[in-house]
Structure 1
Amino acid sequence: MPALVPELVNAAMESSTLPSDVLRRALVVAQRLGVSELTDWISSELKGYKSDDVPEYRRVRARFMGLDEKGNLIQFPTSPEMIELFSNFAVRDSVSQLMRCAQDKITIYSVPTSIDERFTQRAYEKYGFRMHPVRVLSDIQQQGILEQVKTRVLEWALDLEVKGVLGEGMTFTPQEKQTVQEQHYHFGDVSGSQIQIGSNGSQQTQTQTGGDTAALSALIEVLREAIQQEHIEAEAREELQADLATLQAQAASPKPKWAIIKATAQSIKAVLENAVGGVLSAKALPYLTALL
C-alpha cells in the first residue's frame, strides 16, 4: 500500500493538483499524527477565515476603486490616507472560493455597509452620481495565495520525510507519532520562512515589533469623549466616528495591524487640522504623534 507522506509530497509538487485536494490530503496526515496546529490552519483554509486575523500571505494590497451605477470601475475620489487604509485587505475567502475567483481577471469585494453608505453619499453630494467604494483583486494575487498554501504543505511534508515519518500502509507507527509530538510546528508567519519547526522544550526568541498600545488606548478615549460632547461639525464627526471604529477594532484584535492604525491616525490628524482644531487637536496630537 502507498505511504501517506510521499503521496502528499507528490501531490503538493504537482502543478495540476488543486490546492483544495492538497489540503484534504494534508488533513488526513495531520489528524492521524495529531498535529493540531496544522489541522486548525487547514480548516481555516478550506472553510474560510472568520476574522481579519489571517496569515500574512493573505494580506494583500487591493485597488480601492469606485463602482458606478453602470458597473464601471473608476478611480474613487478620496484622500491618499484613506486609499492607503482601505487598500490593505485581509483575504478571508476559502481556497475553493479563491480558485473560482482566480478564473476571472479581477474580483470585486464590497466594503462594510457603514463605509459604503458614507462614501456613496459623499460622492453623490460632490459629483451628482452614486459610486460605491470597492476593493479590487487581480487573478495573479489570488493565484499567489493558492501557491503559498501548497508550498506550506510541501515544506511540512518534506520535513516529515527527512525525519523518517512516512505513513507506510496508510497509517503511522507509534514511533512516527512520537517523533512528530517532539516537534513544534507553527503555521503562522515567521520572518524568512514559510513554517517554523523546532523541538519541544527549545527556546526561541523573537523581536516583538508593533506600536504604542498606550497611545492607541488614550487616543480612543479622547476621540470617544470628543464625539459624545456633540460640538463637532456633522461631516467631521462622521469621519472621526469611522476612524474611531477602526481603531477600536484594531485595539480589540489579538494581533493589531499597525499599518492600519498608522493610516487611521493620519486620517484623524487631517480631519483635526482641516475641520476641528482647538482643544481636541491639542489633546489628540501627542497620541497621534506616537502612532505616526
Structure 2
Amino acid sequence: MAKMVLDLQQACLDEKVSCYNLLLRAYAIAEKLNIKDMAEFCTNEINGYYDIDDKTIPLYRKIHVNAEAYKETAKRWEPISFPAGSPWSMSIIVESIAEIEKLDQSKREMLEVRLNYDEQLAIYQIIDMPKPLHVRQIFMAAKVTSILQIVRKLILDWALKLEKQGIFGEDLIFSSEEQSKVKDVPSIQIIINGNVTSSNVAGVLNDSISNIQTQRKD
C-alpha cells in the first residue's frame, strides 16, 4: 500500500520530479496533519513571496548580485560600485517555484533583475552619477539552481523526520495515532534573516542573457 511520506522521500531523490510537485505533496501532508508552519512554507514557495515582508523571506532567496549601468556615450554596460553593506548588492528572488524552475531549465549562464524607475533613481542618488539609459542587476544562473536544491533538501529532511516519528500516511490517510505524534516532529530549520539585511524587493526576474550578450558586444 502507498505511504505518502515514503513516496515523498522517493520523489525528493528523483531529479525528474519537479520542486513544484514536491511542494504540492508536502502541502497535502502538512494540511492533513495540521502542521501549519510547513503548510505555510509550501504555500509561499508555490505562490511566490510577492506580498510578503522581506524580513520574513528565507535567506536562501536573498542573493548577491552585480549592478551595471548602461553608458550611452560609451555604448556599453559598466559595473557600479556600492558602499560596503549597501542593500543594492543584494536582491530578493520573489518568484514562485514554478517560475524559478522555468528559468533553471533555460540553461542560461546569467540572469538579470530589471529594476523599476524608483529603484533606479535611488541608485543614481547613492552613486552620484548622471542618469544612464538603464540600470540592472545580474547574477549567475547557478544561484537559481541553488534555490531549487535547498527547497528539495528541506522537504526531504521534513519527510525523514516524519518517518522517524512513525508517521507514514497509508493510502492518503493518517491514523489518529499518527496524528497524535505530530507534536514530537522537530521543525525544519529555515534561516530567515541570518546576518544579511536587505530592503529592496527584486524587480521582474528575466531570462535575458541573450540580450545581455548582444549588448555587451557593442
Equivalent residues in 2 for 1:11-26 (5 A)?
Answer: 11-26=11-26
Equivalent residues in 2 for 1:164-203 (5 A)?
Answer: 164-189=166-191
Deviations 1:100-128 (A, max 9, x none): 22223222112343231354696546xxx
- Name the structure where helix makes up a greater proportion of residues: 1
**SS of structure 1 residue aligned to 2:111:** strand
Q: Identify the residue that residue 222 of structure 1 maps to in structure 2.
A: none
- Residue 186 to residue 256, structure 1, CA distance change in 2 (3 Å): closer
Q: Identify the residue that residue 225 of structure 1 maps to in structure 2.
A: none
- Residue 113 to residue 256, structure 1, CA distance change in 2 (3 Å): farther
Q: Identify the residue that residue 105 of structure 1 maps to in structure 2.
A: 109
Q: Identify the residue that residue 58 of structure 1 maps to in structure 2.
A: 61
Q: Identify the residue that residue 134 of structure 2 maps to in structure 1.
A: 132
Determine the C-alpha separation between the residues in 2 that align with 1:133 and 1:93.
21
Match for 1:37: what amino acid?
A: D
Larger Rg: 1
| Runs of 5+ unmatched residues, structure 1 | 191-254, 262-292
The question of 1:92 aligning with 2:94 is answered yes
CA displacement at 1:85 relative to structure 2: 2.8
**SS of structure 1 residue aligned to 2:174:** coil
- Residue in structure 1 matching 2:143, options 141, 144, 148: 141
Q: Do the aligned partners of 1:119 and 1:132 also contact (CA within 8 Å) in 2?
A: no
Match for 1:60: what amino acid?
A: I
Determine the C-alpha separation between the residues in 1 that align with 2:17 and 2:76.
34
State the TM-score, normalized to the length of structure 1. Answer: 0.58
State the TM-score, normalized to the length of structure 2. Answer: 0.76
Q: Do the aligned partners of 1:65 and 1:73 also contact (CA within 8 Å) in 2?
A: no
Larger mean Cα displacement after TM superposition, 152-161 or 56-65? 56-65
Determine the C-alpha separation between the residues in 2 that align with 1:36 and 1:187.
14
- Residue 46 to residue 164, structure 1, CA distance change in 2 (3 Å): same
Q: Identify the residue that residue 202 of structure 2 maps to in structure 1.
A: none
Q: Do the aligned partners of 2:158 and 2:188 also contact (CA within 8 Å) in 1?
A: no
Determine the C-alpha separation between the residues in 2 that align with 1:73 and 1:164.
60
Once the two structures are aligned, what percentage of the paired residues are identical?
19
**SS of structure 2 residue aligned to 1:76:** strand
Q: Choose between structure 1 and 2 for higher RCO, CA contacts under 8 A separated by at least 6 residues.
A: 2
Equivalent residues in 2 for 1:21-32 (5 A)?
Answer: 21-32=21-32
Q: Identify the residue that residue 231 of structure 1 maps to in structure 2.
A: none
Q: Identify the residue that residue 229 of structure 1 maps to in structure 2.
A: none
Query: What count of residue pairs does the alignment treat as equivalent?
Result: 190
CA displacement at 1:160 relative to structure 2: 1.0
Equivalent residues in 2 for 1:1-292 (5 A)?
Answer: 1-49=1-49, 50-51=51-52, 52=54, 53-67=56-70, 74-77=77-80, 79-81=81-83, 84-102=86-104, 103=106, 104-119=108-123, 123-124=129-130, 130-189=132-191, 259-260=197-198
| Runs of 5+ unmatched residues, structure 2 | 200-218
**SS of structure 1 residue aligned to 2:112:** strand
CA displacement at 1:136 relative to structure 2: 1.3
CA displacement at 1:67 relative to structure 2: 4.5
CA displacement at 1:163 relative to structure 2: 1.4
Determine the C-alpha separation between the residues in 1 that align with 2:76 and 2:189.
37
Q: Do the aligned partners of 1:38 and 1:187 also contact (CA within 8 Å) in 2?
A: no
**SS of structure 1 residue aligned to 2:9:** helix
Q: Do the aligned partners of 1:123 and 1:131 also contact (CA within 8 Å) in 2?
A: no
Q: Identify the residue that residue 193 of structure 1 maps to in structure 2.
A: none
Q: Do the aligned partners of 1:64 and 1:83 also contact (CA within 8 Å) in 2?
A: no
Match for 1:65: what amino acid?
A: E
